[in-house]
Amino acid sequence: MSNLKSKKEIEEFIKNLNQWVLNIMSGDLNSRIKISKSNELKNLCGNLNIVSEMLENQLNKTNEQVERFSKYKEEANREANRLAIMEERVYMASELHDSLAQTLASLKLQVRVLDESLQGIIFLKNNKQQQNEELYTDKRITDELETLEESIELANREIRELIGHFRKPQERVDNIISEISNLVENFKEENKEIKIFFQNKIPIIKINKNDELHIKRIAQEALTNVKKHSQAKIVRVLLMSYETNKYSLIIEDDGIGIAKSCFIGHDHEASGEHIGLSIMRDRAKKINGHLVIESEPGEGVRVILSFNEKD
């Protein structure tokens, strides 16, 4: 009887969790998940609601800042204010993806796996197929719940980093070569098990600050994908010039590769990885550059960004 009650509590939790994830990803940051009656799930529900509250508070603060900025600039140039607010929202959307959307997409997938496991248990119970019950044990459910809790903790940590990022002054890139070098050094510190090499064959690049920031973000997204998905042992970052005033940034790894459906031009499916490729492509277009991704499953990934010199 207690096992049946426990299964009902987990099913109710899965239902609430699914709805919470959908609400958050659709922009409803006021969403809260109902606290489970199960002692094992109370802490997890509490963490979920903390994530919701942090998102809501940060969005409210950002909206307040945008409103104050709009009032200050309204008399000078209303149209400029409107464009600035739109650009800020696009910027926030990109930053939210870089730090959070992939984690939430992964969380949604884990919820689906847990739901399938529960449905397997219910099917076996109803059909009295006890000999196969070891395939859907309570330990498996517990392990999947632990994985969910780890994902929530990751989202919580990324939210804190995002808050810190939004509180800083608007980012200014002083030198794209040093910025990419810093990205490589940070990657090296955070991923001890992956060897990363940076080779710069260009003494100086003449591009404007806005383009430098987009190039940095493309490199950052590519390295984030390597960290999260590639299972690579070695990563190479190369900055080179192949013609006068024409440059290439190449990031390649020896990991498991990606499916062809994830390539640029095939990123219409709703997943964090595909959204990331779309954002990289949009950033490349904004600097009149060209982005190519080369990969075969099991053969690693090569990201090539080509761009021109621009004062």
Residues 294, 163 share a domain: no
User: In Å, how far are 2, 123, 225 from 133, measured between CA atoms?
Assistant: 18, 10, 37
Note whether 293 and 148 are same-domain residues: no
**DSSP state, residue 286:** H
Residues 121 and 190 in one domain: no
* 267-296 pLDDT tens trace: 444 444 456 777 788 889 989 999 999 988
Beta bridge partners of 240: 248
Shared-domain flag, residues 158 and 230:
no
Domains in the chain: how many in total? Answer: 2
> At which of 105, 136, 167 does a domain end?
167
Q: Which of 167, 201, 236 is the last residue of a domain?
A: 167
- Same structural domain for residues 163 and 181? no
Same domain? For 112 and 251 the reply is: no
pTM, two decimals, is 0.50
Q: In this structure, are 11 and 141 located in the same domain? A: yes
Question: Hey, which residues does 188 pair with through a beta bridge?
Answer: none
79 and 155 assigned to the same domain: yes
Residues spanned by the domain of 242 = 176-308
Beta carbons of 104 and 278 less than 8 angstroms apart: no
Examine the domain organization and report whether 20 and 158 are in the same domain.
Answer: yes
pLDDT of residue 66: 78
Interval 3-57: pLDDT, tens:
545 778 788 888 888 888 888 777 777 788 888 777 777 888 888 888 888 888 8
Neighbours of 156 (CB within 10 A): 15
Domain CATH for 274: 3.30.565.10
Residue at a domain's end among 112, 138, 167: 167
> What's the alpha-carbon Rg for the chain, to the nearest Å?
23
Shared-domain flag, residues 245 and 276: yes
Residues 7 and 97 in one domain: yes
Which tens digit of pLDDT belongs to each residue from 80-116?
666 666 766 666 666 666 556 666 766 777 777 777 7
